[in-house]
């Protein structure tokens, strides 16, 4: 029997709902992170003690950088999920971009934006 070249439309619809669910969560996380970042830009420190201010600014700078990194990661994740939706629409979703074989469903359920099977990903690391 010939190996399947692509997932069926029913399977693609299952993946579409998984991707859409993750996308909704990712977008809401991103918005929350951005809200926190925006609040960090407003300085509502009432205490005028210079030491207190220095401590405040020191700790808020670090967390601001972390928040920016989190926001960037969320954005990349959102883009990866949106790209997965395009592949679902093109019916190319779940196909390993190196081997052309189907990525196992188990992997796609956990990492719905994957474009490589675990084996390809490992092999790719060594190049």
- pLDDT tens column, 52-82: 555 556 556 658 889 999 999 999 999 999 9
Q: Check if the beta carbon of residue 102 is closer than 8 Å to that of residue 95.
A: yes
Residue 85 lies in a domain: yes
pLDDT one-digit tens code per residue, 31-58: 999 998 888 766 555 445 555 555 556 5
Number of domains present in the structure of the chain: 1
Residue 1 counted as domain residue = no
Specify if 17 maps to a domain: yes
In a domain, 4, yes or no: no
> Cβ contacts of residue 96 below 8 Å, gap of 6+?
102, 103, 115, 116, 117, 120
pLDDT at 100: 95
Can you give the residue range of the structural domain that contains 45? Answer: 9-125
pLDDT tens for 78-97 read: 999 999 999 999 999 999 99
**Which stretches of 42-104 are DSSP H helices?**
50-89
Read off the CATH number of the domain in which 34 is found.
Answer: 1.20.120.910
What b/e sequence results for 30-69 when a residue is b if at least 16 CB atoms lie within 10 Å of its CB, and e otherwise? beebbeeeeeeeeeeeeeeeeeeeeeeeeeeeeeeeebee
Indicate whether this model's pTM tops 0.85. Answer: no
């Amino acid at each position: 029997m010939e190996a399947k070249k692509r997932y069926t439309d029913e399977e693609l619809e299952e993946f579409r709902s998984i991707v859409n669910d993750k996308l909704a969560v990712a977008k809401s996380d991103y918005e929350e992170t951005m809200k926190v970042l925006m609040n960090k830009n407003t300085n509502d420190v009432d205490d005028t003690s210079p030491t207190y201010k220095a401590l405040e600014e020191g700790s808020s700078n670090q967390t601001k950088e972390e928040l920016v990194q989190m926001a960037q990661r969320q954005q990349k994740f959102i883009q990866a999920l949106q790209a997965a939706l395009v592949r679902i629409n093109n019916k190319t979703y779940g196909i390993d971009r190196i081997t052309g074989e189907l990525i196992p469903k188990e992997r796609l359920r956990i990492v719905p934006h994957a474009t490589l099977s675990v084996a390809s990903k490992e092999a790719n690391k060594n190049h």
